[in-house]
Homo-oligomer: A and B are copies of this chain.
Amino acid sequence: MTDVTLREVARASGCSVATVSRVLAGTRPVGAETARRVREAAEELGYRPNQVARALRSRSTGTIGLVLPQITNPFFPSLVREVEHALHAEGRAVLLADCDDDPEVEAARIADLLDRQVDALLVIAADGKRSRDAVEKAAAHVPLVLLDRGCGPGVADSVATDNATGMALVLDHLVTTGRRRICFVGAAGTGSAAVERLAAYEAEAGALLPHGSGRVELGDFSLEWGRTAVDRILPSRPDAIVCANDLLAIGVLQRLRQLGVDVPGDVAVTGFDDIPMMDLADPALTTVRQPVRALAAEAVHLLGHRLAGRNDGPRRSVRLAPELVVRASSAPRAPSALRASSAPRGASSAPSALRAPSVSSAEDTGSTRTPEVEQ
């Protein structure tokens, strides 16, 4: 099983290694007959070009580094998938680096990828501030595109969801369906999603609501915080709780159910991201779906641009509009069921007798986005 090299193909086909290289790489015109002989010999011997040697000589590995904070964040797998497919369609391979949400690890992984001579980097920044240094340095060496999360302006090309539009869609929807006391549960960090979604909420709510924006509770992007935030927010008697991501929304739904608060009867709840299975929450979660495939395609496109050109020119920042996915958790209240907005309290209270029949059923649960896996 010793590997076949160009030399052997050259010998077998009776020409020089240079010619073989030209035929196989298609770099230059080659005589038809020679080409045929070469291809035949290569086929016969089962020749496979050694990409490492090729990379050393041509100074291009055909490899892209994909750096992300945590592959277990349920939003990322679909993004990774789309990126991987888009790159593979161009004959490139993906070196994966998971940073465990740690900017220092991130810096180390980026350095490692550069040592391995990746042609370019796709980075989902771990932190809005502390990722900046490493990203900036790396961008000086290879084309680099920030994906989904930025780390400060002007650092590198970036592609992300338009969080402002997403929040506007949510608030529009809630106001249109009669909600007026709309609160917000978000994260306090410096991540671009946390910051932008909060800002958008405040801007939109301030503009659309009679009493201005409602109560805001900031913690982190965890389910646990979603639960906690409910207890802090309920006394202000909201009729809608807008969450900065789906995990928070799930936490909120859990706690509301525990407390016997009816969703969407008493309170509407919305998320952000549309991670898998959100159509299966109870009630199914209204949320903002990030345009994952388009994000990946655009990022890869930008990389291609830089790789083809001289990696200069102005930084590009692309924002893609997301889509509102309306499900049961924000269904309008039945007009006949006007009730006190105060719900029974107590962790062990029985489910609200007022709960409307689930609106999700067939239509919502039949969503085609739920993964079907063969294992």
State whether A77 touches B81 (Cβ < 8 A): no
Write the chain B residue with the least CB distance to A272.
B375
Contact residues of A between 52 and 72, Cβ < 8 Å to B: 52-53, 55-56, 61, 63, 66, 69-72
State whether A361 touches B375 (Cβ < 8 A): no
Distance between Cα atoms of A325 and B22 in the complex (Å) = 59
Copies of the protein in its oligomer: 2
State whether B93 touches A94 (Cβ < 8 A): no
Contact residues of A between 1 and 38, Cβ < 8 Å to B: 1
Distance between Cα atoms of A119 and B223 in the complex (Å) = 40
Q: What chain B residues lie within 8 Å of A48 (beta carbons)? A: 111, 114-115
State whether B85 touches A77 (Cβ < 8 A): no
Is A231 part of the contact surface with B, judged by Cβ < 8 Å? Answer: no
Write the chain B residue with the least CB distance to A55.
B52
Is A149 part of the contact surface with B, judged by Cβ < 8 Å? Answer: yes
Is A280 part of the contact surface with B, judged by Cβ < 8 Å? Answer: yes
What is the minimal beta-carbon distance from A74 to any residue of chain B, in angstroms? 6
Chain A positions within 8 Å of B, measured between CB atoms, are: 1, 48-53, 55-56, 61, 63, 66, 69-78, 80-81, 84-85, 88, 93-98, 100-101, 109, 111-117, 126-127, 140-141, 148-149, 187, 189, 191, 193-194, 220-224, 227, 245, 247, 250, 254, 257-258, 273, 276-277, 280, 282, 347-348, 350-351, 355, 357-358, 361-362, 365-366, 370-375
19 further interface pairs, Cβ-Cβ under 8 Å (given A50-B56, A94-B95, A250-B280): A51-B115, A70-B81, A70-B373, A72-B78, A72-B371, A73-B375, A80-B98, A84-B96, A84-B98, A88-B97, A93-B112, A96-B96, A222-B370, A223-B280, A245-B373, A247-B372, A347-B362, A350-B357, A351-B355
